[in-house]
C-alpha cells in the first residue's frame, strides 16, 4: 500500500513537472532539479515504460518492470537513435584498422532489432571511405595522429563520428533526393565531413566537406527547411584568431556546402562561451533552442536560447549528471515522459 502511494505521489509530481530535460540517463525539471536518475550513460524511453539503457560496454533493453529482455556487448559512445517505424535502434560504436603502421580508430554504426536485440547491420567507416569516397581515402590527408588517452588499443584517430540524425520532412528533398525523410545525416568531427546515408545505412547518397576555421563538431541535425545544423566546439573569429569559442553553423545544401554557411555565436550575459569537449542542441517551437553550454565559472549547464542565440534561461543540474565532464552533455533534450511514467513500474 505504501509503495503504491509513493508511486502515485511520484507520478503526480513528475506529471506536473513535464516536459523534462534529459541529459544522458538523468531527468531534470526546468530549474535543474533531479527528477529521476537511471543507470547508464545513454537512455531512450518508450511510451510503454520500457527503456534502452547503454553503458560503455553493453546495451540493454529493460521493460517497465525492470526486467532485462536482451543485452548486447560492445563499445558504444556519444549517441543512439531509434527508428520507431522500423523498430530499429542505431548506435555509434568503434573498431580499429592498421593504417600506415598506426593502429587507427574507425567508428561504426550498429543497427539492432529492438524486439530481439539481433544485430542487423554494421557500418564500418573504413569501408565507407575506401568504397564510397575513394578520392579522400587514398590520400588519408585527414588522418589525425591523436593519442587516445582512454584506449590502449589504438594510437591514431580518423573519422571520429560523434553524431547522426534521421532527416525529417523538408522541401529541399524535392531538389536533392538524398535529403528525403528517413535518410541519415552523419558527421565526422575532426575532418568536417558530412554524409547522408539511405535509411538502411547501406549507401552513401551525398557528402560534403564543411570548411570552417576550427575542428570538432557535434550533434548534427536538419531543420524543417532542410538546412543542416552543426554544434561547432572550436570556432575562431578573424578578430580573435587564437581564442576559440562555441557556435552553431547552419549549412544550406542548395547553394554549396562550402559557401552557404552561416555561423551564429551563442552568447551568455553578452559573452561567448566555450564548450570544448561535447555539445548538443534541440530546435523548439517559436524559433527557440535548447543547448548544452560550458562556462569556467559555472561548468556544464543547459540553456534556452532565443531566435538570435541569446540565452533566455539557463540551469545547472543539481546534482550533476553522471560523468558530467564528458559526453553526457552531448545532448540536452526537452522531452515529454508522461506516458512513460504512467506505465513504468520500476523503483523510485
Where exactly are the structural domains of the chain?
Answer: 75-265
Maximum average pLDDT range among 100-104, 241-245, 254-258, 340-344: 340-344
Quote the pLDDT of residue 193: 79
Q: Which three cell numbers stand for residue 227?
A: 538546412
Q: Which three cell numbers stand for residue 311?
A: 540565452
Portion of the chain with pLDDT greater than 90, in percent? 21
Q: Which three cell numbers stand for residue 5?
A: 502511494
Quote the pLDDT of residue 196: 93
Lowest-confidence pick of 105-109, 130-134, 166-170, 297-301: 130-134
Tell which wins on pLDDT, 55 or 318.
55
Model confidence over 23-35: pLDDT tens digits? 888 888 877 788 8
Measure the CA–CA gap between 289 and 274, rounded to whole angstroms: 17
Measure the CA–CA gap between 335 and 317, rounded to whole angstroms: 16
Look at strands 76-83 and 68-73 and give their pairing. Answer: unpaired
Tell which wins on pLDDT, 142 or 164.
164
Q: Where are the alpha helices (DSSP H) in 111-265?
A: 125-132, 134-137
Quote the pLDDT of residue 97: 78
Measure the CA–CA gap between 267 and 217, rounded to whole angstroms: 18
Specify whether the CB–CB gap between 291 and 315 falls below 8 A: no
- 294: helix, strand or coil: strand
The 3-state DSSP composition of the chain as helix, strand, coil percent (nearest 5) reads 15, 45, 45
Amino acid at each position: 500500500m505504501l509503495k503504491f502511494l509513493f508511486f502515485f505521489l511520484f507520478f503526480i509530481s513528475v506529471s506536473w513537472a513535464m516536459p523534462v530535460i534529459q541529459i544522458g540517463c538523468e531527468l531534470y525539471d526546468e530549474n535543474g532539479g533531479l527528477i529521476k536518475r537511471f543507470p547508464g550513460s545513454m537512455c531512450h524511453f518508450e511510451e510503454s515504460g520500457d527503456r534502452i539503457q547503454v553503458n560503455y560496454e553493453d546495451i540493454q533493453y529493460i521493460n517497465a518492470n525492470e526486467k532485462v529482455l536482451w543485452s548486447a556487448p560492445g563499445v558504444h559512445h556519444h549517441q543512439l537513435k531509434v527508428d520507431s517505424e522500423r523498430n530499429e535502434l542505431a548506435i555509434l560504436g568503434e573498431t580499429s584498422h592498421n593504417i600506415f603502421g598506426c593502429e587507427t580508430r574507425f567508428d561504426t554504426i550498429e543497427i539492432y532489432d529492438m524486439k530481439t536485440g539481433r544485430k542487423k547491420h554494421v557500418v564500418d567507416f573504413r569501408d565507407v571511405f575506401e568504397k564510397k569516397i575513394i578520392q579522400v581515402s587514398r590520400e588519408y590527408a585527414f588522418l589525425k595522429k591523436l593519442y587516445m588517452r582512454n584506449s590502449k588499443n589504438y594510437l591514431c584517430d580518423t573519422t571520429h563520428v560523434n553524431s547522426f540524425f534521421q532527416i525529417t520532412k523538408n522541401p529541399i528533398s524535392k531538389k536533392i533526393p538524398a535529403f528525403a525523410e528517413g535518410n541519415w545525416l552523419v558527421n565526422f568531427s575532426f575532418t568536417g565531413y558530412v554524409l547522408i546515408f539511405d535509411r538502411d545505412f547501406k549507401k552513401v547518397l551525398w557528402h560534403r566537406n564543411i570548411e570552417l576555421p576550427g575542428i570538432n563538431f557535434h550533434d548534427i541535425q536538419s531543420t524543417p527547411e532542410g538546412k543542416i545544423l552543426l554544434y561547432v566546439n572550436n570556432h575562431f573569429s578573424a578578430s580573435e584568431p587564437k581564442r576559440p569559442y562555441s557556435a552553431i553553423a547552419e549549412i544550406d545544401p542548395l547553394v554549396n556546402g562550402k559557401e552557404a554557411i552561416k555561423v551564429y555565436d551563442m552568447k551568455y550575459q553578452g559573452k561567448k562561451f566555450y564548450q570544448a569537449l561535447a555539445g548538443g542542441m534541440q530546435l523548439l517551437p517559436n524559433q527557440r533552442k535548447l543547448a548544452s553550454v560550458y562556462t569556467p565559472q559555472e561548468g556544464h549547464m543547459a540553456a534556452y536560447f532565443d531566435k538570435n542565440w541569446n540565452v533566455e534561461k539557463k540551469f545547472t543540474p543539481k546534482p550533476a549528471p553522471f560523468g558530467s565532464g564528458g559526453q553526457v552533455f552531448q545532448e540536452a533534450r526537452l522531452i515529454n515522459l508522461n506516458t512513460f511514467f504512467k506505465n513504468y513500474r520500476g523503483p523510485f
